[in-house]
A = this chain, B = another copy of it.
Amino acid sequence: MKFSVTVTLKKDVLDPQGKVVENTLDNLGFKNLKSIRQGKFFEIEINENDQEKAKNTVKEMCEKLLVNLIIEDYKINKL
């Protein structure tokens, strides 16, 4: 069973990497860019047929390792 996880910085957390990309895109001539924020993306495959169980395992992986809950949010999607 396959899931995707997107990890983004919380709204009020500064995103210096995104800022650099934003400035670079502006320098490249993209003048209608309003904002860009960068995050992480994971594609996770689990050996588990019960969707509820598999999703809970992914959730546990996020909270134990993949996501820093103090500054980041995450979203899990079934693929």
Residues of A within 8 A of B (CB): 4, 6-8, 18, 21, 24-25, 28, 30, 32-48, 57, 60-61, 64-66
Instruction: Name 30 A/B residue pairs within 8 A (Cβ), A-sorted.
Output: A4-B6, A7-B41, A8-B41, A18-B42, A21-B42, A21-B65, A21-B66, A28-B65, A30-B57, A30-B60, A32-B47, A32-B48, A33-B44, A33-B47, A33-B61, A35-B43, A35-B44, A36-B42, A36-B44, A36-B45, A37-B43, A38-B40, A38-B41, A38-B42, A39-B40, A39-B42, A39-B43, A40-B40, A40-B41, A41-B41
Partner of A61, one of B25, B43, B66: B25
